[in-house]
Amino acid sequence: MSGILETNLKSLPLLHRGKVRDIYAVGADKLLVVQTDRLSAFDVILDDPIPNKGKMLTEMSNFWFKKFGDLMPNHETGIDPQSVVAKDERAQVAGRAMVVKKFTPLGIEAIVRGYIIGSGWKDYQQTGAICGIALPAGLQEAQKLPHTMFTPSTKAPAGQHDANISFEEAEKIVGADIARQVRAAAIDLYTQAAEYAAGRGIIIADTKFEFGLDAGGTLYLIDEILTPDSSRFWPMSSYQVGMSPPSFDKQFVRDWLETQPWDKKAPAPRVPQDVLEQTSAKYAEALRLLTQ
């Protein structure tokens, strides 16, 4: 099994290579967003691709965008990605790309938490709060939170760590009105997605949304949505409070990396083939459970 670490399209101008996506210009008002098989863990891009990851993420994002199309507007155009590249480049985008409207992304990431895990758990252990929001004493790792929490973060460049910020700091970055719109939309999306996923045997512990603005200041849902790269998916059947549950997402790779003698700075350790293939299988299982 292999994967695509990087695309090389000559028919469109390359605008940006992110942690996972390669972004090209399609005219002045649209973008071609290609999901590679790169994986970013601890904000470091691994040298080993996850087989078929980009195609699975694209299929899952498309599923959620369609499902929540009436809830709020998004960046999709419906244009076939293979129609905007040269014929000999179509294999690079087939099944792993979207042609989207070009919006101005916000300077924050919208993180919603339903369970206490990851950086939120570490914050709580140290301060009794998450991002400055006080919580009851005695919560355990992976426990369902008393209420769904919106905890925005900064958007760090590749190779740097995002930083959790307070809602007040988010208001300073994007403005009070937009910050409130983002908080309401993110919590609504998460709540509905979590309810749907629970019916399919999956707990969505937390997730990250990204939003953008058009020229008139209207808020749109952009980027990817509710994928194993932007969310923690736990199988309900093996969920236990008090431990980090097994997951359908890249937490599997994170957990392996945590066992390695590594300072979480580039370059990351080379990931064994069996870990790559097991991770790919977890993405595939999540996709099957949620969309079929």
Side chain identity, residue 36: T
**CB of 120 closer than 8 Å to CB of 112:** no
Side chain identity, residue 218: T
Distance CA 36, CA 16 (A): 13
* pLDDT tens digits for range 51-68: 999 999 999 999 999 999
Q: Kindly tell me the burial class for residue 270, based on how many C-beta atoms sit within 10 Å of its own C-beta (0-12, 13-18, 19 or more).
A: exposed
Task: Provide DSSP, 200-224.
Answer: TTEEEEEEEEEEEE-TT--EEEES-
**CB of 96 closer than 8 Å to CB of 38:** no
Q: Is the pLDDT of residue 40 over 80?
A: yes
- pTM equals 0.92
Taking residues 159-178, report their average pLDDT.
88
Taking residues 135-149, report their average pLDDT.
97
pLDDT-derived band at 158 (thresholds 50, 70, 90) equals low
* pLDDT tens digits for range 91-102: 999 999 999 999
Pairing label, strands 21-26, 30-35: antiparallel
Distance CA 46, CA 53 (A): 13
Q: Is the pLDDT of residue 161 over 80?
A: no
Q: Is the dihedral of CA 23, 43, 246, 191 positive or negative?
A: negative
Q: Is the pLDDT of residue 77 over 60?
A: yes
pLDDT-derived band at 247 (thresholds 50, 70, 90) equals confident
